[in-house]
Structure 1
Amino acid sequence: MARPDESVITDLLELHTWTVFDVDDDGRVLAGSDATGATQVVEIGPDGHRTPLTALPGACSGRYVPGRRTVVVEHDTDGDERSQLSLLHLDPLPSSPVGLDALEPVAREPEFIHALVDVDADRVVYRTNRRNKVDFDVVVHDLATGAERVVYDDGGHVGEVDVDGDTVVVTLTSLQPGSTHVRLVRDGGTVEVTDADEHAMHVSAQLLPGTSTVLMSSNRGRDFRSVVTVDPAGRWTTLLAADDHDVTALPSPDGSRLLVARHVDGADELTIHGPDGEPLVPVVLPGRGVVSTAWSPNAAWLAVALNSPTTPGTVVIVDAAGGTVRTLVDGTAQMSPELRRTLVEPASMRVPTRDGESIPCFVYTPPEPVPELAGSVVVNIHGGPESQARRQFSAVNQALAAAGHVVVVPNVRGSTGYGKRWYSMDDVRLRLESVLDLVDIRSWVPAVRGEPDRVALYGGSYGGYMVLAALSMHPGLWAAGVDIVGMSSLVSFLENTSDYRRAVREREYGSLERDRDFLRAASPLTHVRAMDTPLFVIHGANDPRVPLSESQQIKVALDEKGVTCTLQVYPDEGHGLAKRANRLSAYPAALAFLGEQLRRR
């Protein structure tokens, strides 16, 4: 008979997650669901009827072509992140989900990235590194003729893009840590909307329809991001601001409304505002968590997916004029009453640090005591580092709590969401200060009935690096570690990561040319001789960000020392596990490992 925690993790991993990609003028929602094992495109009718559209080998996403029954599908191969673009025609609706052979190619060159930016009735806009595999250009593809036009090729790592007619606004990663800058291309010239050398984050930059005025969320001259406009003369106007949280806005396609999101303590709060920033109607969602949103072309509808700690995705449609919310998918309906009772709403707490700071944390307390695991703590560290742990569903966190562990999910220094000052406190030579935050959390765990000698570390990507750094640089403090696609050496990571990512990562970690000695000192592999903690490692063979060699070399080093180290490699995955079959293989094994290492003896 299976242990209760084993059955719970399986039930949690079997839950279907939902997200929103788009909504059309008739109120049909294009959504993503991983019911078949990896996120596929599903159409949800106004009455809630669901039509699965794709059955591709890996995760995919999509956008409607306005005015047509056609979807642009973005897909890659086994998590390699080299996005390709294709068309799926919906008139008539496919009788069953389609594979790759039923899609019409738009941009397919598997050696390059073609990432979808925007779609309108006549064209598809995407960004691509096909010119040199490093810099990203912005390309407009004419749907009628197939002709393509490059509208931006001034170099850099292009992130967000908005195109309105012949005017283009691009957001690029700058060489300052935790910073971006915005450029406007019009009339054959390029205008620097923001200072490329300024330490500031500008996100969600979009053109107000029919103008050259940029609307964005920016922390220029502030700690938290506010909603601002910058007109063609370079005048900045603040529309919405707060002193303790970030604010962003998504303009409707006709410019008549703004969907304003306030990002408070890891959750999103939505309100519809007028174009001048005045509030019109609140959007009351069935819970508190993280949202994905989309406007319909006629600005009549908003589609929203809510992902919270206790639901993997509820999809609603909102009447933009009145704010009425109608549920299309109830994310909790798939759960048994018994499973619902195991789910925990995390508490927000602050952990005091050695230098007078405080670390924001979400703490999951076991719903029922498990004597052999009483006092055990698992610290789950997010990736990034320019990211944050948020109030969203995690099968792993919920399963750990259901098994009897206290789960602490911290936003250590360097995390976004708590102001520019906080996310700048781990830049380059300050990297190891964030690792010391984990030592402070270990000292604090008695406040949540944890035992410092029974604390394990768990993390993915940068979180995996943090696990390895704490285990190797602060040995003897930890009971176990789980590292998922983490970097074991900052030097070899930067040398071997994808070309287009190297400069972006060097601005945060340090330059191979100028900071090699520090990078070596900050690498877990440098300190592996001191590491004495059992380790469980998970990695995808196709990872374009953190090469598999990062996990292989820590495995070899620990094997030579005789320290327990299990490495599970998945040949059809990239940076993390996108396929449910692989998650069902990896995560229960990792949790069983933690249970064995942390149980009271």
Structure 2
Amino acid sequence: MPYDDGKADMAPDRPAYTSPAPMATGPHPLSGPLSAPVLLRTPGGGGADPPTLLTAHGCWYPASDPRGEHVAFICDRAGVPQLWCGPAGGTEVHVLDGSPDPVIEVSWSPDGRWIAYTAAPGGGEHTRVLVVRPDGTGRKVLAGAGPGGSAHLGSWTRDGSALAVTVAQPSARGAEHRGSGHVPPDAAQAAAGRAAPEAGWAVRDGAARLLGTGAVPTASDKPTTGTEGLSSGGLAAYLMDPDGVNAPVLLFAEEGAASLRVCDVGAGGRLALVRRGPRGLREALVLDTLTGSTVWSEHVADGDPWIGRFSADARILWLRSDADREFAALLRVRLDDDGTAAEVTVAAEREGSGLELLSIPDHGRWAALAWNVQGAVELETVGLTGADTAQAPYRGVGPVHQRDLPHEVVTRIAPVGAGGLFAALSGSRRRPGIWSLTDGPAPTRTPWSARDEDAVPPGRPPVSPAPMRCRARDGLLLGGWYYRAPGNAAGRPAPCVLHLHGGPEEQERPVFNPLYHEILGRGLDVYAPDVRGSSGWGRSFVDADLGAGRFSAIDDVADCAAHAVELGYADPLRLGVMGRSYGGYLTMAALVWHPDLFRAGVAVCGMSDFDTFFSGTEPWIAQSAAAKYGHPDHDRDLLRALSPMSRIDQLRAPVLAVHGEHDTNVPPTESEQFIRAARERGVTAQQLTLRDEGHEFLRADNRRLYRRATADWLERHLGTQAAS
């Protein structure tokens, strides 16, 4: 039976939300008038369960109701990630939103009355925030309903009366990205005539090291992120009443913002925790919602956007941060009455491992900490109680309870009640699933998560990877994982494909990857390295590819290939390279910088020319990318030299490009121009465009097509037939 909280058709049984008076602007105002999001009721309910369900499916992103009796989660049993819900220990789960729009994030309100989630209409990159009752009724769009608009999920207020959402304010250039996601034909010419950069930029070109560095912004400073001069709209964060009784309240707005997320609203609504800034320059802001001012800020790590929470009385802020350190730790920030930091101490840290996920229940008595240990995860719960007086000063978290895990990686944690939690797990031998972790002897798989043995068809067990370390030519130690295809004899070189992850700040993890399984089934090994710029190995490693350091990242690809050959694993005459997003860029770059090394390539959603990429991407993506790759004006020569199109004459290997038709992060023309130029030079090249997909491929039929096309291409050019 569908879960019914008894309030689906009742008027709110609580006082109307009382909030600070709406501000005309935030501390970093947007130019022009702000248009607050308008709540839009959607017809119908969640619909019936789909008639055909996949046995081998994934479940992830759990969100528990306040009592821990029911769980909302994302599941792709119907072929697309959708919002599901059901009892924590039962099997009768049901779809809350049966639309074909992929769901990305989920959050259950603290009062149990609403489930909020983010969905991507048409599978593209423009998302919207919706709410629905736990029984599937009352579905509404809170923000992101307009054409070309976009909205992202934030935190609930502690009483559940309002939800924070981030809304992307459209800009003139942002209007170009509605529809197919292709860049207009005159985009390159428009880029050539880009307006002169704004004052305040130090002109630099060539060996740029770290873009946008400078003093940490204070409450009175407007942050300098190294992205000024880029045409952009802005981001604004609002508190929204899901019942539609109270008007939206503006919390924060910033012109030219690269990211903005409201991570928590303290008890009483006086303080809000916001994460903002481009990649590599993220920071946490504590806002005074009454005045709209920033009262404290601190650098925080990239990765999971949910960076911290206030204590129940809003006198302590718990923060995941890598400020002044290589690896992220748990910071305890004692706040004065006005929200400024009176004391900052390190509450928990590990040498050589970073805090990857932080989850704290509303009562604030304990926290779940997920530590990244060279790609795998160790999970622990820690007590957050402890005096903070002259007689009994604070001495750190405790006690610490290590949680045993049946699989290698935790992707999301949902705390429940006094000490329980639900955790989304992934592993090298299973698809993503949700497990209940209580104080009992062992974690329990939820009955609606697929079994481990259902991960792949019978007779083709998944391959567990072996960790691989490689020394780059400049001495930097790289990480990664090596997958040996079943049937490939030990000690005999085999055809091998290097797979390069995106980001570049992502990290290769030991989790089951259906793409790898497809390639391994064709007799090809897979080597998935972490080249410089990857996360999980410290801040210095992440920053090692900035500016001209990206040339070294391209050489890392060649060094990893050479390492696999030297160990006797890979056949030097049958090496391939592929990757998605930044990995797609790195694939194109490796093919033209090392043309005689690789025999085939597959570039997925990759950037082929930084000039056209900056002209065609979303404004907020451009803001963030400038801090990572270089500024399109001030580092124009460097970006041109780093663009694969600048060396297209060196391309020798056959290349397949794959792209989603609605990708507005990296427009499809980035693949189109590379493939067109390859063909003009007589190189074998093809492009596969996936319908109803954006930068991520989320639909089961498209993912299957992508995997098979990729494996076919690699087998054709690297397999036994190619060698003969």
Residues 261/153 of structure 1: CA separation in 2 closer, same or farther (3 Å cut): same
Question: What does 1:491-506 correspond to in 2, within 5 Å?
Answer: 491-506=611-626
Find the counterpart in structure 2 of residue 531 from structure 1. 651
Find the counterpart in structure 1 of residue 326 from structure 2. 223
1:153 partnered with 2:271: no
1:295 partnered with 2:424: no
Q: Matched residues in 1 for 2:540 and 2:303: separation? A: 12
Per the normalisation by structure 1, the TM-score is 0.90
Map Cα deviations across residues 540-587 of structure 1 (whole Å, 9 max, x no partner): 111110001101101110110111111011231100311111112222
Shift of the alpha carbon at 1:334? 5.8
2:167 to 81, 106, 128: 128
Write the letter of the residue equivalent to 1:559: R
Residues 583/154 of structure 1: CA separation in 2 closer, same or farther (3 Å cut): closer
Find the counterpart in structure 2 of residue 389 from structure 1. 508
Residues 90/241 of structure 1: CA separation in 2 closer, same or farther (3 Å cut): closer
Find the counterpart in structure 2 of residue 314 from structure 1. 433
Q: Matched residues in 2 for 1:14 and 1:540: separation? A: 26
2:382 to 273, 283, 291: 273
Residues 42/241 of structure 1: CA separation in 2 closer, same or farther (3 Å cut): same
Shift of the alpha carbon at 1:482? 0.5
Per the normalisation by structure 2, the TM-score is 0.75
Find the counterpart in structure 1 of residue 351 from structure 2. 243
Residues 323/28 of structure 1: CA separation in 2 closer, same or farther (3 Å cut): farther
Question: What does 1:557-576 correspond to in 2, within 5 Å?
Answer: 557-576=677-696
Shift of the alpha carbon at 1:212? 4.6
Shift of the alpha carbon at 1:146? 4.5
Bigger drift between 218-227 and 520-529 goes to 218-227
Map Cα deviations across residues 499-541 of structure 1 (whole Å, 9 max, x no partner): 1211110111101111111101100011001101101111011
2:134 to 81, 84, 90: 90
Residues 191/88 of structure 1: CA separation in 2 closer, same or farther (3 Å cut): closer
Shift of the alpha carbon at 1:404? 1.6
2:472 to 353, 358, 362: 353
Residues 299/497 of structure 1: CA separation in 2 closer, same or farther (3 Å cut): farther
Q: Matched residues in 2 for 1:553 and 1:336: separation? A: 37
Q: Matched residues in 2 for 1:272 and 1:531: separation? A: 51
Map Cα deviations across residues 445-483 of structure 1 (whole Å, 9 max, x no partner): 131521122110010000000000010121111010001
Residues 263/448 of structure 1: CA separation in 2 closer, same or farther (3 Å cut): farther
Find the counterpart in structure 1 of residue 217 from structure 2. none
1:64 partnered with 2:105: no
Find the counterpart in structure 1 of residue 669 from structure 2. 549
Q: Is the 8 Å Cα contact of residues 286 and 297 (structure 2) preserved in structure 1?
A: no
Find the counterpart in structure 2 of residue 53 from structure 1. 96
Report runs of 4+ in structure 1 exceeding 4 Å deviation: 198-203, 321-324
Find the counterpart in structure 1 of residue 444 from structure 2. 326
Q: Matched residues in 2 for 1:81 and 1:300: separation? A: 36
1:179 partnered with 2:298: no
Larger Rg: 2
CA RMSD of aligned residues (A): 2.5
Structure 2 unaligned segments of length 5 or more: list them.
Answer: 1-53, 175-232, 336-340, 385-395
Residues 279/368 of structure 1: CA separation in 2 closer, same or farther (3 Å cut): farther
Q: Matched residues in 2 for 1:453 and 1:14: separation? A: 39
Q: Is the 8 Å Cα contact of residues 431 and 455 (structure 2) preserved in structure 1?
A: no
Q: Matched residues in 2 for 1:201 and 1:591: separation? A: 30
Bigger drift between 450-459 and 158-167 goes to 158-167
Q: Matched residues in 1 for 2:442 and 2:494: separation? A: 45
- Between 1 and 2, higher relative CO (CA 8 Å, sep ≥ 6) is seen in 2
Total equivalences in the alignment: 575
Residues 39/417 of structure 1: CA separation in 2 closer, same or farther (3 Å cut): same
Q: Is the 8 Å Cα contact of residues 472 and 524 (structure 1) preserved in structure 2?
A: yes
Residues 14/325 of structure 1: CA separation in 2 closer, same or farther (3 Å cut): closer
Map Cα deviations across residues 83-141 of structure 1 (whole Å, 9 max, x no partner): 212232234x57xxxxxxx7323222232211111235211111111375632211101
Q: Is the 8 Å Cα contact of residues 44 and 328 (structure 1) preserved in structure 2?
A: no
2:63 to 11, 17, 22: 22
SS at match of 1:377: strand
Q: Matched residues in 1 for 2:139 and 2:328: separation? A: 40
Residues 501/526 of structure 1: CA separation in 2 closer, same or farther (3 Å cut): same
SS at match of 2:468: strand
Residues 439/316 of structure 1: CA separation in 2 closer, same or farther (3 Å cut): same
Residues 462/336 of structure 1: CA separation in 2 closer, same or farther (3 Å cut): closer
SS at match of 1:136: strand
Map Cα deviations across residues 170-195 of structure 1 (whole Å, 9 max, x no partner): 11125xx6221121111415336345
Q: Matched residues in 1 for 2:304 and 2:583: separation? A: 24
Q: Matched residues in 2 for 1:370 and 1:590: separation? A: 24
1:114 partnered with 2:151: yes
Q: Matched residues in 2 for 1:374 and 1:509: separation? A: 36
Find the counterpart in structure 2 of residue 7 from structure 1. none
Find the counterpart in structure 2 of residue 206 from structure 1. 309
Q: Is the 8 Å Cα contact of residues 193 and 234 (structure 1) preserved in structure 2?
A: no
Find the counterpart in structure 1 of residue 14 from structure 2. none
Q: Matched residues in 2 for 1:326 and 1:142: separation? A: 36
Q: Matched residues in 2 for 1:322 and 1:274: separation? A: 18
Write the letter of the residue equivalent to 2:141: P
Q: Is the 8 Å Cα contact of residues 661 and 693 (structure 2) preserved in structure 1?
A: yes
Q: Matched residues in 2 for 1:547 and 1:28: separation? A: 40
Bigger drift between 211-220 and 489-498 goes to 211-220
Shift of the alpha carbon at 1:207? 2.1
Write the letter of the residue equivalent to 2:654: P
Q: Matched residues in 1 for 2:373 and 2:527: separation? A: 19
Write the letter of the residue equivalent to 1:593: W
SS at match of 2:424: strand
1:419 partnered with 2:419: no
Residues 72/516 of structure 1: CA separation in 2 closer, same or farther (3 Å cut): same
Find the counterpart in structure 1 of residue 589 from structure 2. 469
